[in-house]
Structure 1
Amino acid sequence: MTQDAKTAQGKNLDLLYSLHDKPGFLPSVFAALQHVLASLVGVITPTLIVGGALGLGEHVPYLISMALMVSGVGTFIQCRRVGPIGAGMLCLQGTSFAFLTAVLSAGFIVKSRGGTPEDILATIFGVSFCAAFIEIFLSRFVHKLQKVITPVVTGTIIILIGIPLIKVAMTDIGGGFGALNTDSFGSLDNLLLAGIVLVSVILLNRSRNPMIRLAAVVIGLALGMLAAFLMGRLDFSHIASLPLISIPVPFKFGFQFDLAAFIPLAILFCVSAMETTGDLTANSTISREPVKGPVYINRIRGGVLGDGVNSMIAAVFNSMPSTTFSQNNGVIALTGVASRFVGIYIAAILFIMGLFPIIGGVLQTMPKPVLGGATLIMFGTVAVAGIRVLSQANLDRRNMMIIAISVGMGIGVSAVPNVLQALPDTVENILKSPVAMGAITAILLSLILPEGPAEEEEADVKADEQAGEGKKKLGEVG
C-alpha cells in the first residue's frame, strides 16, 4: 500500500462510508430517513408560515407538495452533480428560512395593493426566479466575494433575518394573523398549546441521545398536534377535497415582477452564497475531503451554482428559494455516512412525499400556536447564528459602529415603518425590509469606513491576546 493510500485510509477511519462509497439498499434508506427527519420541518415550515401570514389558504397543500418535490430534485442535483452544477457531496437542499422575511415583505406589498393570493404567489415566484440569477452569477467567483460580504455584514444580516421572524412566531403563538383582531387571540388554549411544544422541544433537545435531539422539533410538533386533537382543535374536513396526486405546473400562478420585492431577495442571494460556502466547507471537513486547493474550489463553485439553479427551478415550480441545509452535516457526523449516493435516496423520499397533497393538507390543519411554539425556537436560533458569526469577526471600534448602525436601522424600520413614508413608493418598499435596510447600510459603511492603522493595530493586539489565551487553555487541558 502506498503512503497516499495509507493516509487516505487513516483519514476515513471514523466514516462508515466515505464520499464515493456505495452503501447497500438498507443502510442507504436508513441513513436517508435520518436526513429527511432532521430536515423535514425546515423544508415545510416556511411554506406554512407564508401561507398563514398572507392568507393563501387553499393553495397551501399544493405549495407544500411543491416544496418537498423541489427539495428532492435539488438534493439530487447537489449530490449527483449534473455537469458543473452541484457540489457532488451529501448535501440536502431545502426551502430556506433566510429568504422568509423578504418573501413575506414581497407578499405584503402585493396584498396592500389589493392583490389576490394568485397575484401574491405570481410576484413571489417571479421575483425569486429573477433573483436566483444573482447567485448563479456569483458562483463563478464566490471565493472573492468575502471582500464585500464580510463576517460583519453577514452576521448583521442574519440577525436581521431572525429578529423580525420572532414577531411572526409570537403572532402564531397568539393564534395567527387571522385571529389578531379577535377575542381568541392570546387565549389560554393557544398559550397552552404553544407551551407544550416549546417545553417538549427544550426537554428533548437536552437528551443525551443524539437522534432524539435531531428529531426534537418533529417530536415536539407531533405532541402539539396530539394535544390539539384532544382539545378538539383539529379539523380534517377539507382533506377529502384534495386531489390524489400533485402535478407540478410551471408558474401555475403566473409570473409578475416588482423591483421593491426584488432588491431584498437579491441581497439575500449574495448572503446565501456565503452561507453555502461555509456549509460546504463544514461538509468537506466532516466527510474528510480537502478544504483548500482546486478540488475544494471546484466543489464550492458547483455547490453555490447548484443553490442558484435549484432556487430558479423552485421558482418555476411554485416553491420559495432553497439552499443547502447545514443541519445535515450533523447527521453525517452522527451516522458516519458521507456517501453522496445516499443523497439519491433522500431525493427520492422527498419527491415521493411531495406527490401526495394529503401530507400538506394534514400539516395545514396544524393550529398556529403549535407551529409558533416550534418556530419561536427556530427563529431565535437564526438570530443567535448571526451573533455567532459576529463573534468571529474583529469587533473593533469601526466594526462595532457598523453593526450598531445597521442593526439599529434594520430593527428601526421594522418597528416604525411610517418613518419612510415621505420617500417614493418603490424606495419606501425596498427600505421597509429590515434585511434590505440593514444590508445596504452595512455594505455601504464597510466600503466607506476602511480599516485604519489604529483598527489594524488593535486587531493584531486582540489576535495576540486570543492566541495567548488559547495556548493557556491548552496548557490547562494538558
Structure 2
Amino acid sequence: MEKSKELIYGLNDRPPLRETVFAALQHLLAIFVAIITPPLIISSALKFDLATTGYLVSMSLFVSGLATLIQCRRFGPIGAGLLCIQGTSFSFISPIIGAGMLGMVNHKMNVELGLSYIFSACLVASVVEMVVSRLLPYTRKIITPLVSGIVVTLIGMCLIKAGISSCGGGQTAIDNHTFGSMRYLGLALLVLVSIIFFNRSSNRFLRMASIVLGLLIGCVAAYALKMIDFSTLKGSGGIIIPTIFKYGFRLDLGAVIGLGLIYLVTAVEAYGDITANSLISGEPVEGPVFLKRAQGGVLADGFNSLLAAVFNSFPNSIFAQNNGMIQLTGVASRYVGYFIAGALVLLGLFPVVGRVFSLIPAPVLGGATLLMFGTVAAAGIRIIASTEITRKAVLVMAISFAMGLSVELVPNILDKMPAMIKTIFSSGITTGGLTAIIANALIRIKE
C-alpha cells in the first residue's frame, strides 16, 4: 500500500534525530498523565501510603516503556510492528479496586495482601486476551460494536464515581471529616476549567498539553494552600531496581473472572486501535499482512499486561490518542516508538519521579479525571450511536445499564451473596458487560 500523502515519514522510515526526538516528546506529552493516573486513583481508593503509591507510579512508567517497545519492535509473533504506544489502562480500575479490597483485615488495608491479590488476578486473567488474539474473527461476532459501546460507556460512568470522590478530597478527607469542603471543590473546579480553556484553544500544542497544564495550575494553587509538602521527597534519590512479584502471589477466582471480562473487551478495542493505526500509517487494513499485524498486536496487548503484573504494575492497553498524534505530526515511523519506550523506562527507574507525582492532591487529580472519565463515557456513546438502534438494541442497553449501574449505586445489594459472587459482580463494568454479552446473544426480536 502506498504511503499516505499526509505522512512525512512512513512506518519504516528513519527520521533525523532532531525530528524523532520532537515527535517522541509530543507523544509523551499526550500519554504521560494517562499512564500515571490509574495507579494514583487506585492508591487513593485503597489508602496506600506515599512510598507504595510512588513505587506503583514508577512501575507503571517502566512497564509502559517495555510494552511500547514490544508493540513497535515486534518480537516473533508478539507485537503489531506499528507506532503503537501502550500505557496503564483506565478500563480495569473498578475491578482492580474490588480485588484490592480483599486485602482489608479488620477494616484496615494490608497493602501487601491487597496488591498480591490484584497482581495475581491481573496475571492469570491476561491469558483471556492472549487466547482471543488467536480467535479474533470469532470474538468480534460475540463482542459487537453495541456490546463494546455499552462496556466503554459503563467504564466512564463507573469511574466518574472515583473522579468525584477525589474532587471532594478522597478517602483521607472522608476519614478526617473534611470531605466536600469548598477548598477541595474550588481546587477541582479550577483544574477542570483550566483544562477546558486550554483544550478549546486553536493552538495544537496548548490543546495537547491541556491536561498537563491544568494539573500544573492546580498543583501551584494547592502548594499556595499548603496542601503539598515537598519535605516528604527526602530519601527519594537513587534508582529503582524492578522486583518480580514484590508482593507475592495470592489468587481469588472471583477477581480473575471480573478482570477476565475486561480483558475480553480490551482485546476488541485493541483490534480497533490497530486498524485505525494501520489506516493512518498508510498500511493495509485487510488481508494476511493486516491480520498477522492485528493478531500480534492483540497478543502483545495481553502479554504486556501479564508482564505488568510480574513487575507489580496494572494492565496495559494500546492508547488510541496516539493515533491522533500520528495524524497531527505526519510521523508514523515505529523507530520513534523506541525513543518513547526508552524515555518511559528511564523515568520509571528513578523513584523521585513517582514520588513527585504521588504528591498531587486528590482534588487536583479529581478535577482532571472527572473530565477524562466523562470523555470515556462519551466515546462509548459514540460507538453505540454508530450502530443501528433497533428494539433489540434498546432492550440490551436498558438491561445492561440497569444492572451495571445498580451495583455501583447500591453496592450493599450484594451483601447476602457468597464471597466469590460478590467479588465478581461488585464492579458495575463487569456486571453490565456480562449482561450485555448474554442479552445480545439471547434476545431475539423480529423487526
Q: TM-score, normalised by structure 2?
A: 0.97
Q: Which amino acid aligns with 1:401?
A: L
What is the aligned partner in structure 2 of residue 460 from structure 1? Answer: none
**Alignment partner, residue 69 of structure 2:** 76
Deviates more, 1:332-341 or 1:203-212: 203-212
Q: Which residue of 2 aligns with 1:246?
A: 240
Once the two structures are TM-superposed, the CA of residue 115 in structure 1 deviates from its matched residue by 5.1
Matching of residues 9-48 of structure 1 within 5 Å: 11-48=3-40
Q: Does 1:199 align with 2:193?
A: yes
Moved more, 315-324 or 222-231: 222-231
CA positional deviation for 1:238: 1.6
Which residue number corresponds to residue 250 of structure 2? 256
Give the drift of 1:386: 1.1
- Listed one character per residue, the Cα deviations across residues 72-103 of structure 1 (whole Å, up to 9, x for unaligned) are 00000000001110000001110000111111
Query: Does 2:432 match 1:444?
Result: no
1:339-354, aligned counterparts within 5 Å? 339-354=333-348
**1:283 counterpart = 2:261:** no
Separation (CA, whole Å) in 1 of partners of 2:184 and 2:232: 22
The aligned counterpart of 1:333 is 327
Of 229-238 and 19-28, more deviation after overlay is shown by 229-238
Mark the runs of 5 or more structure 2 residues left unpaired by the alignment: none
The amino acid that maps onto 1:227 is A
Does the residue aligned with 1:89 lie in a helix, a strand or coil? Answer: coil
Q: Secondary structure at the match of 2:334?
A: coil
Counterpart position of 1:458:
none
Match of 1:470 in 2: none
| TM alignment of 1:150-161, pairs within 5 A | 150-161=144-155
CA distance in 1: counterparts of 2:104 and 2:22, whole angstroms: 44
C-alpha separation between the residues in 1 aligned to 2:420 and 2:262? 18
1:104 matched to which residue of 2? 97
CA–CA separation in structure 2 for the residues paired with 1:116 and 1:420: 23
Report the equivalent of 1:424. Answer: 418
For the Cα contact (< 8 Å) 2:103–2:115, is it kept in 1?
A: no
CA–CA distance in structure 2, aligned partners of residues 265 and 314 of structure 1: 14
In 1, distance between residues paired with 2:78 and 2:248?
27
CA distance in 2, matches of 1:273, 1:242: 37
The CA distance in 2 between the partners of 1:217 and 1:419, in whole Å, is: 37
- State the one-letter code of the partner of 1:81: R
Distance 1:440 1:249, change over 3 A: same
Q: Structure 2 CA distance, aligned partners of 1:38 and 1:269? A: 24
The equivalent of 1:229 in structure 2 is 223
Question: Equivalent residues in 2 for 1:76-225 (5 A)?
Answer: 76-111=69-104, 116-225=110-219
State how far apart, in whole Å, the 2-side matches of 1:289 and 1:252 are.
41
What is the Cα deviation at residue 446 of structure 1?
1.4
In angstroms, what is the RMSD of aligned CA positions?
1.3
- Percent of aligned pairs with the same residue? 47
In the alignment, the residues of structure 2 paired with residue 147 and residue 92 of structure 1 have an alpha-carbon distance, to the nearest angstrom, of 27
Alignment partners' CA distance in 2, 1:239 and 1:219: 22
Q: Which moved more, 1:332-341 or 1:185-194?
A: 185-194
Q: Secondary structure at the match of 2:104?
A: helix
Alpha-carbon shift at residue 13 of structure 1 (Å): 2.2
Worse overlay, 107-116 or 166-175? 107-116
Does structure 1 retain, via aligned residues, the 8 Å contact 2:404–2:427? yes
Larger radius of gyration: 1
Distance (whole Å) between structure 1 residues aligned to residue 332 and residue 425 of structure 2:
42
Whole-Å separation in 2 of the counterparts to 1:325 and 1:96: 8
- Structure-1 separation of matches of 2:341 and 2:91: 22
- Paired residue for 1:59? 52
Give secondary structure in 2 for the equivalent of 1:33. helix
Secondary structure class of the residue paired with 1:341: helix
Other structure's SS at 2:305 match:
helix
Q: Which residue of the partner structure matches residue 468 of structure 1?
A: none
Distance (whole Å) between structure 1 residues aligned to residue 45 and residue 416 of structure 2: 27
Check whether the contact 2:103–2:111 (CA below 8 A) recurs between aligned residues: no
Distance 1:432 1:191 in 2: 28
Once the two structures are superposed, the pairs formed by residues 464-475 of structure 1 within 5 Å of their partners are none
Residue range with higher mean Cα deviation, 426-435 or 89-98:
426-435
Secondary structure of residue in 1 paired with 2:135: helix
CA distance in 1, matches of 2:416, 2:165: 29
CA shift, 1:244, in A, is: 1.3
Distance 1:279 1:202 in 2: 25
In structure 1, C-alpha distance between the alignment counterparts of 2:13 and 2:212, rounded to whole Å? 30
Query: C-alpha separation between the residues in 2 aligned to 1:234 and 1:285?
Result: 45
Offset from partner CA, 1:330-354 (integer Å, 9 cap, x none): 1100000000011000001111111
Q: Contact 2:158–2:429 (CA<8 Å) still a contact in 1?
A: no
Aligned partner of residue 323 in structure 1, secondary structure = strand
Cα deviations across residues 410-434 of structure 1 (Å, max 9, x unaligned)?
1001111222233222112212221
What residue identity is the alignment partner of 1:391? A
Pairwise CA distance, 1:23: 1.0
Q: What are the superposed Cα offsets for residues 104-141 of structure 1, whole Å, 9 maximum, x if unpaired?
A: 11112332675511111111100000011111111112
Q: Post-superposition shift, 1:171?
A: 0.9
8 Å CA contact 2:102–2:117 kept in 1: the answer is: no
Residue 50 (str. 1) matches residue 47 (str. 2): no
Give the Cα–Cα distance (whole angstroms) in 1 for the partners of residues 109 and 200 of structure 2.
45
Q: What CA deviation, in whole Å up to 9, does each residue of 1:377-402 have, x standing for no partner?
A: 00111111111111112211111001
User: What is the deviation of 1:144?
Assistant: 2.1
Q: Distance in 2 between matches of 1:373 and 1:192?
A: 10
Please list the CA deviations of residues 261-318 of structure 1 after superposition, one character each: whole Å capped at 9, or x if unmatched. 1111100000000101111111111111111111111111000001011100000000
Give unpaired runs (5+ residues) of structure 1: 1-6, 455-478
Displacement of 1:165 in angstroms is 1.1
TM-score w.r.t. structure 1 length?
Answer: 0.91
Give, in whole Å, the separation in 2 of the partners of 1:370 and 1:419.
Answer: 32
Given that 2:229 and 2:359 are in contact with CA atoms closer than 8 Å, whether structure 1 keeps it comes out as: yes
